[in-house]
Amino acid sequence: MPGWSCLVTGAGGFLGQRIIHLLTQEEELQEIRALDKVFRPETREEFAKLQTKVKVTVLEGDILDAQCLRRACQGISVVIHTAAIIDVLGVIPRQTIMDINLKGTQNLLEACVQASVPAFIYTSSVDVAGPNSYKEIVVNGHEEEQRENTWSDPYPYSKKMAEKAVLAANGCILKDGGTFHTCSLRPMYIYGEKSPFITITIIRALKNNGTLDILSKFSIANPVYVGNVAWAHILAARGLQDPKKSPNIQGQFYYISDDTPHQSYDDLYYNLSKKWGFHLDSSWIPPLPLLYWFGFLLEVVSFLLHPIYNYRPPLNRHMIALSNSVFTFSYKKAQRDLGYEPPVSWEEAREKTSEWIGSLVEQQKGTLNTKIQ
C-alpha cells in the first residue's frame, strides 16, 4: 500500500476520532482527510496536536453536498464512512435520518466512483440484523444466518438500505476503469471513553443521586469497546488493498464484537460506573410483554395526536425489543478474513472507561458548583 490516503467521514464523532488516531500510526499512509459537518473546537485542537508524520486535513462539509464529497474524494485510496444519525426514539424527523444515512451514503458512493476511489468501508450496525421481536433469541450469531431487520423505524431501515447499497456497489467500474471494492462492518453496541450514550446516562444518574435507570433488565448483549471497533476498520482498510486478502473481503459484511462479557446493558453501565458510587434502580419493572404493549399504546397515542400535536413517546416497541433481547454475535468471520483480534481486553476497556466516567463526574460536579455560586 505505498503512498495511500484515507478519507474518514463522521471524523468528529465518537468512533471517527478513534479511527483517525489509529490511522496516524499506519506506515505508508500519506494523508488522512477528516470530514464532518461541524467539528467542535476541542476536536480540531486534538487533531492539530496529533504526533504524526501523516498529513491530517480537517474538512467541514455536508454529506448531502455532492460537490463537496467529490472534492473530498479526489486522490483518495480508501474511504471509511462512519457518518450517520443514530436515533431509536423518533426524536429526529424521519426524512432527515433517511437523507443523512441513506442518501448521504449513496452520494458518497457516487463520489467515489467519479473520483476513482478503489476501496470503501461502511460502518453499519448490528441493528440491521434485528432483533425483530423481544422474543427473538440469538446467541453467538454469525453472518451466514442472513438476518434482516423488518422494523420500518427510520434508523434501522436507513442503515439496512445504506448497507445494501454499499455491498451492491462492490465490483462497479470506476471512472478510470478500475474496480470498486466495498465491505461493511456491523459493530455491536459501542462503549468507551467519550460515548455520548454513556455521557447522557451518567448525567441523568447524577441528577438522581447516582441511581442508574433500569431500561434493559431483560437483555443479554455483547457490547464492544470503541478501540476494538476502530481497529477492525483499520484491518478492513488494509485488507481491501491487499491483493491476497481483498477477494475474500469484497462485498462482505462482518459482525464486530470482542471479549466483553455477555451482559445486560444495565449491568454494563453499572460495571463501568460502580467505582464512582453509582447503583442500579431497585424499583419494580413491569414484565417484558407488558412493557412492549405499553410501548405500542404510546405509539398509538402519538399517531392519534399527530395532526394536532407532535408527541414523542419515551418508549416504543422497537426500542424495547432492541434493548431487552437476547442478541449476541461472534466475530469469527472477521477473525478469519480480516485477521481481527481485539487488541483491548475487557479488563482494560472497563478500566479506561471507568476512569473517564470519573473525570466526567468531576466535571459535572464542577459545573453544578459553578451554577450554585
- The candidate with the shortest Cα–Cα distance to 265, out of 166, 195, 163, is 195
- Active-site hit among 159, 175, 207, 352: 159
Strand 119-123 relative to strand 181-187, pairing: parallel
In angstroms, rounded to a whole number, what is the distance separating the alpha carbons of residues 167 and 120?
A: 10
Q: Does the annotation count 159 as an active-site position? A: yes
Whole-angstrom CA distances from 104 to 87, 97, 98 are: 16, 10, 8
- Tally helices (H) and strands (E) across the chain: 14, 14
- What does the DSSP 8-state code read for residue 283? S
Residue type at 292 in one-letter notation: Y
Say if CB 223 and CB 350 are below 8 A apart: no
Grid cell for residue 371: 451554577
Which residue, 256, 279, 254, is CA-closest to 269? Answer: 279
**Alpha carbon of 299 to those of 98, 127, 182, 346, 368: distances in Å?**
20, 20, 37, 38, 36
Closest CA to 219 of 307, 324, 289: 324
* Nearest residue to 310 (alpha-carbon basis) of 302, 299, 318: 302
- The label of the residue with cell 462482518 reads 254
- Report the 3 state secondary structure along 189-228: CEECCCCHHHHHHHHHHHCCCCEECCCCCCCEECCEEHHH
CA torsion, ordered 270, 363, 82, 338, to nearest 10 deg: -50
Q: Which residues carry out catalysis?
A: 159
